[in-house]
Chain A
Amino acid sequence: MIEIKDLKKTFGDKTVIDGVSAVMQTGKCNLIIGSSGSGKTVFMKCLVGLFEPDSGEILYSGKNFTTMNEEERKELRQQIGMLFQGSALFDSMTVEQNIMFPLDMFTKVSFQEKLKRVNEVLARVNLENVNDKFPAEISGGMKKRVGIARAIVLNPKYLFCDEPNSGLDPQTSLLIDKLIKEITLEYKITTVVNTHDMNSVMETGDHIIYMHQGIKEWEGTNKEIIFSKNQKLNEFIFASEFLQDAKDMRMLEMKGKIDNNRNMDELLK
């Protein structure tokens, strides 16, 4: 579990994160959503220590990350895996070397054992016969999956995903979402996903935090989001007329179920 208390971050005169408090739950996909410039990337970078917050606390299983020294942080970071927006695979290394890198750096097991683990995680993300390929030789979706494999190779307790669907087609996006959800449940990890992809929100959003101009505007689940009365959230999610219509249809459909599955045509009349 990650507990965030009154987190603030400013750049010069601009307040990017303004007193956000939240609890990222274990074994769930915790989604941070918001439009571009809402502060969600800065928020995530504060959580993993790439940015230092101005004030507030970040507690990883009760341990205060903000007051930890460099050595303590190093130790904690070995329990953190992160999938970056652009995958951030090391260009000069093959897929196998990329995934093996954390094992090489932090474990003392034999090469055979490391290779076994690499193949295990590659199989887990449904990738085969790519061990010797370089990142430049594989597709965007495959890069994301290699990124996930590298993030989970050390069995982390916390998984952070920054825009895992950016630059992917809808079908591949769904595969990545499914994979993140499955891994979260399987390994019982605390997953934090930064996204503005509505498919992800509906598919994986066990716990959703909506941010607007650095403030936590709304919090709930993917089941609650559709009924939300928050105007800013509705404007963000149902930005187009098409999506607004889809929402109305969905609400009618759900209402239909509540009203003993009455016929949709009746409701639409």
Chain B
Amino acid sequence: MNIFTEFGRYLLMLKDMFSKPENMKMYWKELMHQCVEIGIRSLGIVVIISFFMGAVSALQTAYQLVSPLLPRSTIALIVRDTVILEFAPTLVCIVLAGVVGSKIAGELGNMRVSEQIDALEIMGINTRTYLVLPKILAAMITIPLLVVISMVLGIWGGRLASVATGIVAASQFDKGLLQNFLPYNVFFALAKAYTFSFIISSISSFYGYYVKGGSLEIGRASTQSVIVSCVLILLADYVLSAVLL
């Protein structure tokens, strides 16, 4: 199947997602369930990654910042901007493409192979609306929140590592954090987070929803969805940086 056919099917899946829900209460319940599955269940890995990402970033910046002409508070500034602009939205979303993306593709793939999707269709339920839309909405609600948490934890990790190793004093680090702060950077990071969360959820839903075959194909679909999501995230990262910065 060529890339244009795949892209066409992807667009059709997105178009068919928008239909009148049979029972709003059930769809709301499914949305909340997906928010827990995608958001809350990914919180642990995001906390760990973000903290260490900030800490390592601070230590490596200090290692490279050898000029005596530059104040030590610059470390805080660099950590803040790299975390907000790149590490929190992009790195976290790449990790989430693996964690959340493979889960979504695996879940939908299993439902397809075991005829659970057919069973829903027979009942008269639009499965794109019931199964795919809540996943995409839940990802677009929770992933930007996870990115914000990641920003805070990343900076906090950098501060803790800097102070603990004696690279920068806490007061100096705090001073650096406030230097030349551009709120636009947070907007840019959130724009990236929304874009990436849509990519992660829609691409993995697409690969899972259209699985054909058995368990082997479910595994392949999960892997494929992670690869495609990661490539598209990096591509979107470049495009957004070129357009918005």
Closest A residue, CB atoms, query B107 = A92
Which residue from A74, A81, A84, A89 sits with its C-beta under 8 Å from B118?
A84
Are A85 and B123 interface neighbours, CB within 8 A? no
Residues of B within 8 A of A101 (CB): 123
Residues of B within 8 A of A84 (CB): 115, 118-119
Indicate if B6 sits at the interface (CB-CB under 8 A): no
Alpha-carbon distance between A49 and B116 when the two chains are bound, in angstroms:
15
Closest B residue, CB atoms, query A80 = B122
Residues of B within 8 A of A91 (CB): 110, 114, 116
Q: Take A84-B115, A85-B115 as given contacts and tell me if A50 and B22 are in contact as well, using a CB distance cutoff of 8 Å.
A: no
Q: Among residues 99 to 121 in chain B, which have CB atoms less than 8 Å away from a CB atom of chain A?
A: 110, 114-116, 118-119, 121
Contact flags B200-212 to A (C-beta < 8 A → 1, else 0):
0000000000000
Q: Could you list some 6 contacts between A and B, CB below 8 A? A: A50-B122, A74-B22, A75-B124, A85-B115, A104-B26, A106-B22
**Chain B residues within 8 Å of A, Cβ to Cβ:** 19, 22-23, 26, 110, 114-116, 118-119, 121-126
Are B119 and A77 interface neighbours, CB within 8 A? no
CB distance from B4 to the nearest CB of A (A): 19
Residues of A within 8 A of B119 (CB): 82, 84, 88, 90
Taking residues whose C-beta sits less than 8 angstroms from the other chain, chain A's interface range is 20 to 34
Are B124 and A82 interface neighbours, CB within 8 A? no
Closest A residue, CB atoms, query B29 = A104
Residues of A within 8 A of B110 (CB): 91
Most buried by B among A73, A76, A77: A77
Alpha-carbon distance between A50 and B116 when the two chains are bound, in angstroms:
13
Are A77 and B114 interface neighbours, CB within 8 A? no
Alpha-carbon distance between A81 and B123 when the two chains are bound, in angstroms:
7
Are B114 and A88 interface neighbours, CB within 8 A? yes
Indicate if A86 sits at the interface (CB-CB under 8 A): yes
Q: Take A105-B22, A106-B22 as given contacts and tell me if A86 and B115 are in contact as well, using a CB distance cutoff of 8 Å.
A: yes
Alpha-carbon distance between A86 and B26 when the two chains are bound, in angstroms:
25
Are B23 and A86 interface neighbours, CB within 8 A? no
Are A77 and B122 interface neighbours, CB within 8 A? yes
Residues of B within 8 A of A70 (CB): 19, 126
Alpha-carbon distance between A240 and B139 when the two chains are bound, in angstroms:
57
Residues of B within 8 A of A75 (CB): 124
Indicate if A102 sits at the interface (CB-CB under 8 A): yes
Top 7 A-B pairs, shortest CB-CB distance: A77-B124, A88-B115, A88-B119, A74-B124, A84-B115, A82-B122, A78-B124
Alpha-carbon distance between A70 and B19 when the two chains are bound, in angstroms:
10
CB distance from B126 to the nearest CB of A (A): 8
Q: Take A85-B115, A86-B114, A91-B110 as given contacts and tell me if A105 and B26 are in contact as well, using a CB distance cutoff of 8 Å.
A: yes
Indicate if A152 sits at the interface (CB-CB under 8 A): no
